[in-house]
Structure 1
Amino acid sequence: MRQGIEYTPRRATELVCDALQDTRVIVISGARQVGKSTLAERVLDQVTNSVARFLDDPAVRAAAIDDPVRFIRHDGLMLIDEVQRVPDLWLAIKHLVDREPRPGRFLLTGSARLLALRSIPDALPGRSETIELWPLSQGEIDDEPDGFVDAAFDLGSDLRAEPREFRRKDYLSRAIRGGYPEAVRRDTPRRRHRFFEGYLSDMISRDVKQVADIERTDDMRRLLALLAAQIGGLLNLSRLGSELSISTPTVRKYVEILETIYLIRLIPAWSANTTTRAVATPKMLFVDTGLAGYLSAGAVSDSLTGGLLENFVLGEISRQLTWSQTSARLYHYRDRDQYEVDGIIENNAGEIIGIEVKASETVRSEDFRGLRLLQRKLGSRLRAGFVLYCGQDSLSFGDGLSCLPISALWTTGSK
């Protein structure tokens, strides 16, 4: 166990411990520096007869490459950190857990979406469970409940939030800080800037090259900067290609790589038979708004601030969806008549929570335009529509519609 750094408890810890009771292989996946190894070591401390192998160590990696079958021999739980570094381990693990199918054999971590890597030879259907670890949530940072998603489906528009002393500048400051543990620990913007500078260079020089053979890595850096400048918008591959002077297929390949190494996430468009004019273009989400703020080089504009706060809100919801009791997925909505809803959370029963994000400290009736459209189209399927904004009050705007402070995302307790 690493010493000397204060540990922030992660909600994923319980998910991992539960999975170890009935699943042979548990994979903790997520971006570099989100705390996967630390979380895994914490879990190992609770398990007797456990052992850890770290593939960032050249000697350990050499042993795994030389004899993967011998490398994984152990009677108890084995942690293999950064497992994607030795793809041959994947087949050896599959062979072993097929012959000895007891739960809790392997705890694997990876800084890339393992099944998207061409070097990984096979999946482990029915044998493994993947738990995705995001950067720290605001609730994890502040020791708050992080229960908005469950409460929204449970209470609908009756959900109310306790007022907190947060204003627009406070939310923007949190967004720019981001959730990487190392960035959160740094006290000044200048020190966080240095962290993001090194982090991005490391990701492009190591992780990008591990996923694909990219010769012009400068294009990848420029693409990220363009995505940050257009944060909150739809993903327009042809426009990005034009601005970068590269082909649309190449831009698509680069975007897939950025998804694979957990720098961005694409939010699919939502549509139903009742909304046939919906556009199908996905929206791009930075996994961490701190990195997006760094890439925008401190530029300040209403559109950029609005996009950054929208990304911040949708990122917090995405984090909660990895641990909420409610099984749901996140979408966005936009149609050809210029109606849009920033976030749509749909559960397995087809019930929907609509989310609109506003960077202002006041709310107007017009801010519910997209949500009212969904209400007319969907009727009772729309469980509630919320405008999340930078003010402090929770107010009703008609049956099924209300505004809440953004802080409701993490200060609300679950059912």
Structure 2
Amino acid sequence: MSTSPLIPRRAAAQLDAALADTRVVLVTGARQCGKSTLVRVVAGDRLAERRDLDRAQDRAAALADPVGFVDSTGLLAIDEIQRVPGLLLAIKAAVDEDPRPGRYLLTGSSRLFGLVAAPDALPGRMETVELWPFSQGELDGQPDGFIDAVFTLGPDLRHESTVTRADYASRIVRGGLPEAAARADPRRRERFLDAYVQALIDRDVQQVADIQRKGQLRTLVRLLAARSATIIAANSLESALGLSRPTVTRYLQALEEIFLVKRIPGWSRNLGTRATATPKLIFVDSGIAANETATNARALIRPGAPFGPLLESFVLSELCRQLTWSQQQADLSHYRDHSKFEVDAVLENRAGQVVGIEVKAASAVGPADFRGLRRLADRLGDDFIAGIVLYTGTSTLPFGDRLRAIPVSALWQTPAPALS
């Protein structure tokens, strides 16, 4: 029986570096995004033992004897650590007694310190490596260097593309979850994604929140998919779900804790304002969002289909992936002011330099598509590196000082500049 070739992950280098100087390393991310495979590949011969807390026998042993369960002279890998968060105290004691780097390699499908039962055990002792579903570059063997390139080259970045609107639609619907991306038959992919979301609701959500009404939670997921890449406020969902605002807020938090959705904060130079600005919500995987809206690749490019919102969510999730490995350390947010000027994505690096990105589903753009980017440029002056409209056309086009239209495929087909 033939097997699919192993796709290299960008996170491997980061994980390898963390094991070299950190006592505990946590690989965290959505279920079935490839965490266990990454652990096996990177740990290699260093791995003394591997235990999986999804297995009943391993979980029972961990609960009965936490200290004995984590006792190991070599590198110990423990999958799905959120299943027995009490193990963190035993791990803390072990690494405080023996502070060698590379003692424990953990994986988790929930944000560990968001767990109700997780003790605050490992600050200063643990590094977290966030793993997303496959990026487009990982799937295609392309460089995924857009973020580093745009901060280095600014408006001098150039890209030509042969990717069509139909190709983009196919990529959105495919997503990046390894099991879904490997299924060529769309109906088989749909069945997998249906079961995947239901399993998250039935099992994983219970680990992070006390959810009593799973039916409403399932409805919430579909509502969020229909509003993908839009500003989401809990009060806008109350009437549709028949739930109180605090309950909706708690449900949204739970979906983020299990890596189904991600909230993109509002941008402001005022940190207090940024913290309170209404976030924009995207799905961690575009294939899930498309499936929840019952949209296939062919239907997605028809008039009236949600191609625009799903393309924007797709772009934002690709940016999120790249930020986990890019040399340029930057934060991702969105911009909207009281005059209704908007920018879909704002990337700001540690030096306060900003790249603004708009996403357009059209294959042609005009000056009006740069309205929000011009406002952002006026506000920032020299700190504004470039304003980019990512669109489904084929060529890079100038639209004024530091403003460019660039094909969406630049995200994964652009190499990062060589380090000097």
Quickly name the TM-score band, shorter chain normalised: over 0.9
Matched, 1:323 2:321: no
Q: Deviation string for 1:187-211 (max 9, x for gaps)?
A: 0211110110110111111101222
Q: Deviation string for 1:204-224 (max 9, x for gaps)?
A: 111012222212101111001
Equivalent pair of 1:268/1:283 in contact (CA under 8 Å): yes
In 2, the alpha carbon distance for the partners of 1:69 and 1:377 equals 56
Of 303-312 and 214-223, the range deviating more from structure 2: 303-312
Matched, 1:235 2:232: yes
- 1:17 corresponding residue in structure 2: 16
- 1:404 corresponding residue in structure 2: 406
- 1:258 corresponding residue in structure 2: 255
In 1, the alpha carbon distance for the partners of 2:384 and 2:112 equals 36
Matched, 1:214 2:216: no
Equivalent pair of 1:269/1:283 in contact (CA under 8 Å): yes
SS of the residue corresponding to residue 14 of structure 1 reads helix
C-alpha RMSD of the superposition: 1.8
Equivalent pair of 2:259/2:284 in contact (CA under 8 Å): yes
> What stretches of structure 2 of length at least 5 have no aligned partner?
none
Q: Deviation string for 1:142-169 (max 9, x for gaps)?
A: 00000000011100010011x2321112
> What stretches of structure 1 of length at least 5 have no aligned partner?
none
- 2:42 corresponding residue in structure 1: 43
- 1:127 corresponding residue in structure 2: 125
Give the one of 159, 169, 186 matched to 2:183.
Answer: 186
Code of the aligned partner of 1:372: R
- 1:116 corresponding residue in structure 2: 114
Q: Deviation string for 1:233-252 (max 9, x for gaps)?
A: 10121110111111111000
Q: Deviation string for 1:332-388 (max 9, x for gaps)?
A: 001121110000000000000000000000111110000011111111111001000
- 1:94 corresponding residue in structure 2: 92
Equivalent pair of 1:29/1:36 in contact (CA under 8 Å): yes
Please report how far the alpha carbon of residue 48 of structure 1 lies from its aligned counterpart in structure 2 after TM superposition: 3.1
Code of the aligned partner of 1:307: P
SS of the residue corresponding to residue 21 of structure 2 reads coil
- 2:28 corresponding residue in structure 1: 29
Please report how far the alpha carbon of residue 277 of structure 1 lies from its aligned counterpart in structure 2 after TM superposition: 12
Please report how far the alpha carbon of residue 4 of structure 1 lies from its aligned counterpart in structure 2 after TM superposition: 3.6
Equivalent pair of 2:266/2:274 in contact (CA under 8 Å): no
TM-score, structure 2 as length reference: 0.95
Q: 1:249 to 1:277 in 2, by over 3 A?
A: closer
Matched, 1:269 2:266: yes
Please report how far the alpha carbon of residue 64 of structure 1 lies from its aligned counterpart in structure 2 after TM superposition: 1.2
Please report how far the alpha carbon of residue 278 of structure 1 lies from its aligned counterpart in structure 2 after TM superposition: 12
Q: How many residues align?
A: 410
Matched, 1:310 2:308: no
In 2, the alpha carbon distance for the partners of 1:411 and 1:119 equals 42
Please report how far the alpha carbon of residue 137 of structure 1 lies from its aligned counterpart in structure 2 after TM superposition: 0.1
Equivalent pair of 1:279/1:334 in contact (CA under 8 Å): no
In 1, the alpha carbon distance for the partners of 2:390 and 2:174 equals 20
Q: 1:278 to 1:117 in 2, by over 3 A?
A: closer
Identity %: 53
In 2, the alpha carbon distance for the partners of 1:265 and 1:342 equals 15
Equivalent pair of 2:267/2:274 in contact (CA under 8 Å): no
Q: Deviation string for 1:221-269 (max 9, x for gaps)?
A: 1001111111121012111011111111100000000010000011000
